[in-house]
């Protein structure tokens, strides 16, 4: 579905990926109060959204996490390749205040809870598009975009969403998987380019350090062993501190 607000300036392209028609209706009505022109594309599934982003340049994604044919966070990972200049708002039914704050610290996304509140949604959209008052008066306020989505960011979003899933990361240094259970990271395994197998923290730390590559959501019915027992917040903090120490020694 396409809704175009026609004005003289070039409109921003917004993609709403949401399978619940009532939520689509609420979002469409809320966006009518935006101060600048926009075109809204609506998709009810990942398949429909992929068709849209293959043909249109998107400035802002508004994405539900749970969709009939997949995961909204995985879709954003795909979108980052095709639309690195875009920003994103994730809508979910489960975020806590702490989780929302952690997501927004990324600078790449904002996290909104359902039921969607009109004022919060409009303010978030204006901020992510650089249409808020602060962006208009502060030339130093640059928008973070999906081009900055790192493995650490992707993993953190998976944890925030409470996901039970498997992410596969690959680049020239190897191919590995990170296993999630209800938002916790329970296992990691990596086969390096030198045919060495890393398991647990060592595998996880290596994959999180990658600056480029591909990520995909994969399915495996075999229960993984539990090689990681730290909670995800502590694990990510420990890895980040380790990377900082390594960079400090290199400097």
pLDDT tens digit sequence for 2-58: 554 444 457 899 999 999 999 999 999 999 999 999 999 999 999 999 999 999 999
Bridging pattern class, strands 184-192 and 60-64: unpaired
Judge if 21 and 54 occupy the same domain: yes
Judge if 141 and 160 occupy the same domain: no
Other Cβ atoms closer than 10 A to 169: 24
Tokens of 233: 């917040």
What is the rounded average pLDDT for all residues in the chain? 84
pTM score? 0.69
Judge if 134 and 162 occupy the same domain: no
- How many domains are there within the chain? 2
Report the distance separating Cα 73 and Cα 121, nearest Å: 19
Question: Residue 49 contacts by C-beta under 8 Å, 6 or more apart in sequence?
Answer: 15, 17, 43, 75
Cβ distance 147 to 122 under 8 Å? no
pLDDT score for 4: 47
Last residue of a domain, one of 148, 170, 191: 148
Judge if 128 and 47 occupy the same domain: yes
Which has more pLDDT, 158 or 93? 158
pLDDT score for 5: 45
Judge if 134 and 158 occupy the same domain: no
Question: Residue 52 contacts by C-beta under 8 Å, 6 or more apart in sequence?
Answer: 15, 41, 43, 58
Distance of CA 123 to the CA centre of its chain: 19
Judge if 141 and 158 occupy the same domain: no
Angle between helices 232-250 and 151-160 (to 10 degrees): 170
Cβ distance 168 to 175 under 8 Å? yes
Within 57-171, where are the H helices?
72-82, 97-105, 118-128, 133-137, 151-160
Tokens of 61: 């994604």
pLDDT score for 139: 35
The range of the structural domain enclosing residue 193 comes to: 151-250
Report the distance separating Cα 67 and Cα 49, nearest Å: 11
Of residues 109, 199, 219, 217, the one with CA closest to residue 153: 109
Token match 């992707």: residue? 154
Judge if 211 and 228 occupy the same domain: yes
Q: Each residue of 138-182: pLDDT tens digit?
A: 433 334 567 777 788 888 888 877 888 899 999 899 999 999 999
Question: Residue 223 contacts by C-beta under 8 Å, 6 or more apart in sequence?
Answer: none
Tokens of 98: 């702490």
pLDDT score for 154: 84
Judge if 141 and 162 occupy the same domain: no
- CATH code of 108's domain: 3.40.50.2300
For residues 219-239, average pLDDT: 91
Among 10-14, 117-121, 197-201, 244-248, the range with the most confident prediction by mean pLDDT is 197-201
Give strand ranges (E) for the chain: 2-4, 12-17, 38-43, 60-64, 66-67, 70-71, 87-92, 109-113, 165-171, 174-181, 184-192, 197-199, 214-218
Among 72-76, 88-92, 107-111, 225-229, the range with the most confident prediction by mean pLDDT is 225-229
Q: Each residue of 125-144: pLDDT tens digit?
A: 998 998 876 544 443 333 45
For residues 103-120, average pLDDT: 77
Last residue of a domain, one of 113, 148, 183: 148
pLDDT score for 3: 53
Report the distance separating Cα 126 and Cα 135, nearest Å: 9
**Which residues are bridge partners to 191 per DSSP?**
175, 197
């Amino acid at each position: 579905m396409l809704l175009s607000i026609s004005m003289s300036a070039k409109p921003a392209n917004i993609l709403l990926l949401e399978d619940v028609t009532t939520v689509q209706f609420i979002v469409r009505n809320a966006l009518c109060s935006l101060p600048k022109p926009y075109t809204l594309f609506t998709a009810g599934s990942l398949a429909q959204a992929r068709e849209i982003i293959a043909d249109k340049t998107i400035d802002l994604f508004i994405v539900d996490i749970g969709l009939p044919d997949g995961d909204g966070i995985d879709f954003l990972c795909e979108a980052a390749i095709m639309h690195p200049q875009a920003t994103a708002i994730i809508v979910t039914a489960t975020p806590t205040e702490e989780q929302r704050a952690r997501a927004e610290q990324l600078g790449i996304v904002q996290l909104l809870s359902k039921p969607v509140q009109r004022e919060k949604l409009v303010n978030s959209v204006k901020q992510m598009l650089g249409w808020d008052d602060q962006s208009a008066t502060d030339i130093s306020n640059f928008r973070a975009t999906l081009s900055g989505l790192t493995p650490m960011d992707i993993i953190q979003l998976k944890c925030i969403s409470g996901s039970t899933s498997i992410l596969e990361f690959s680049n020239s240094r190897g191919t590995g998987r990170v296993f999630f259970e209800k938002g916790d990271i329970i296992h990691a395994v990596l086969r390096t380019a030198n045919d060495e197998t890393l398991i647990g923290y060592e595998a996880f730390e290596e994959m999180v350090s990658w600056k480029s590559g591909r990520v995909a959501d994969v399915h495996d019915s075999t229960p993984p062993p539990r090689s990681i027992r730290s909670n995800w917040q502590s694990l990510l903090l420990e890895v980040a501190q380790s990377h900082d120490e390594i960079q400090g020694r290199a400097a």
